[in-house]
Amino acid sequence: MDQLEYTALGQTVHHCVLPNGLRVYVDARRSYSKQFAFFAVQYGGMNLRFRGEDGEWLDTPAGVAHFLEHKTFDTEDGSALQRMAANGVDPNAFTSSSMTGYYFEGVRGFEENLRTLLSFVSVPWFTPESVDKEQGIIAQEIRMCEDDPNDEAYYRLLEAMYTEHPIRTRVAGTVESISRITADTLYQCHRAFYRPGNMVLCAAGDIDPQRVADIAREVLPPEPTTATPAGCGRQEPPEVGARFTRRTMPVSMPLFALGFKGTLPEEGGCLRQRLVAELTCDVLFSPSAPLYNRLYEQGLLNSSLGSFYSAVPGCSFIVAEGESRDPELVRDEVLKEAARLSREGISQELWDRLKKAAYGTMVRRLNSLEDTCIEMAQTRFDGEDYLSFPQVFQSIERADGEALLREWFVEGRTALSVIAPED
């Protein structure tokens, strides 16, 4: 295996690409007692349309990727989840808009559990009866999410911001959409996306890098594979589809999700845009930000305000979430402060302090095997290297944040989703 040296972080990652196209990354840490493995596929809730083996475009119901995540743990002789738990590890999985990941963490039996993980993810086993049963389980999960005010505010925001991009589709789908999912649908999507050439295996802890690659080579299909072409809908306009959406639910105070529709990063610039966007969020929404303190002192915000940047192929955006007696006034004040900062400039002292704090947070997160593996996999799908962030940080200037404020934080790119009390 090749060795990737990160001198700024004092880390070494072993890397190879198997003949079947699978990319393998191992962060061997001999001082750690735990081991972690993450097996990810570039397929998520937004991937509703893809090109089939005959070259024709195929459309699938919303929620297939999430449904497939649930059913992938099924094997012909039982449940892989139970087998791995009995072998001393904690297995789990998640589905996002653009990725599905399967992982486990433990202190013993790493090689046996890795074999199990690679086997059940790569060899599907579904029956019509088990699919019918799972529809009821997932339908309950969907209804619970629909009753969650925070989830509802977020997804209504995406539906307002985007008119064409499938990011507006709920990852779990709807009760109606999952009723159209069959065992054949799951097999078809598994064949299309669960290909080694469309997947990444990341592992970390007290493990032998070469053994990880050897086990993957033994367990997975040897044939070379490539990613299945997937569609992202028609070209998305730069402006939001709707600037405001409101729904009443049983909440004590209005809660809101405030979104800013971004631009696509330049090729090879996904990580850089993410870091610039996250620093800009801190400039506006962190407790160190003058705007946050002003709104808090005026009683327009409580301490629950949070913000984040998100990006998938074809779109990127910033979201600020919180509670306020007047969410529309909060939106107006945010836009006003963004315009002032883009015109007068961000305080150099504030920018340097936030940049130093953000860098320190990312370095500390490397202590988490889980965070490191998931971040490495996600950035590899973007064609980038997560552990290059020290060099990326060095290239970021205050002017980058000011440019983002000028371009993203304008009325035409802003949408507000409010969940108001029923009374």
Q: 197: which DSSP letter?
A: G
**Share of residues in the chain with pLDDT > 70 (%):** 100
Share the mean pLDDT of the chain. Answer: 95
At 103, the pLDDT band (50, 70, 90 cuts) reads: very high
Number of alpha carbons in the 13 Å side-chain half-sphere of residue 128: 1
Alpha-carbon gap, residue 11 to 75, rounded angstroms = 37
Q: Is pLDDT at 227 greater than 80 in this prediction?
A: no
pLDDT, position 82? 86
pLDDT, position 41? 97
DSSP letters spanning 368-393: -HHHHHHHHHHHHHTTS-GGGHHHHH
Q: Is pLDDT at 232 greater than 90 in this prediction?
A: no
pLDDT, position 139? 97
Residue closest to 244 by CA, chosen among 330, 174, 144: 330
The residues, ordered by sequence, that sit 6+ positions from 110 with a Cβ below 8 Å of its Cβ are 35, 37, 205, 207
Locate 403 and state its tokens.
Answer: 């440019």
Q: Is pLDDT at 52 greater than 90 in this prediction?
A: no
106, 35 contact by CB (below 8 A) = yes
pLDDT tens digits, one per residue of 114-145: 999 999 999 999 999 999 999 999 999 999 99
pLDDT, position 86? 87
Based on C-alpha coordinates, what's the Rg of the chain?
Answer: 22
Mean pLDDT on 406-413? 98
Q: Domain segments of the chain: what residues?
A: 2-219, 244-421
pLDDT tens digits, one per residue of 342-387: 999 999 999 999 999 999 999 999 999 999 999 999 999 999 999 9
Q: How far is CA 366 from CA 39, 60, 227, 250, 390, in A?
A: 18, 37, 29, 40, 12
Task: Work out the burial of residue 388: count CB atoms within 10 Å of its CB; fewer than 13 is exposed, 13-18 middle, 19 or more buried.
Answer: middle
- Work out the number of other CB atoms within 10 angstroms of the CB of residue 313: 19
37 backbone φψ class: left, alpha, beta (φ>0; ψ -120 to 50) = beta
- Pairing between β-strand 23-28 and β-strand 199-205 as defined by DSSP bridges: parallel
- Work out the number of other CB atoms within 10 angstroms of the CB of residue 223: 11
263, 419 contact by CB (below 8 A) = no
- The CATH H-level (homologous superfamily) assignment of domain 244-421 is Metalloenzyme, LuxS/M16 peptidase-like (3.30.830.10)
> Which one of 1.10.10.10, 3.40.640.10, 1.10.357.10, 3.30.830.10 gives the CATH number of domain 2-219?
3.30.830.10
Alpha-carbon gap, residue 212 to 104, rounded angstroms = 14
At 221, the pLDDT band (50, 70, 90 cuts) reads: very high
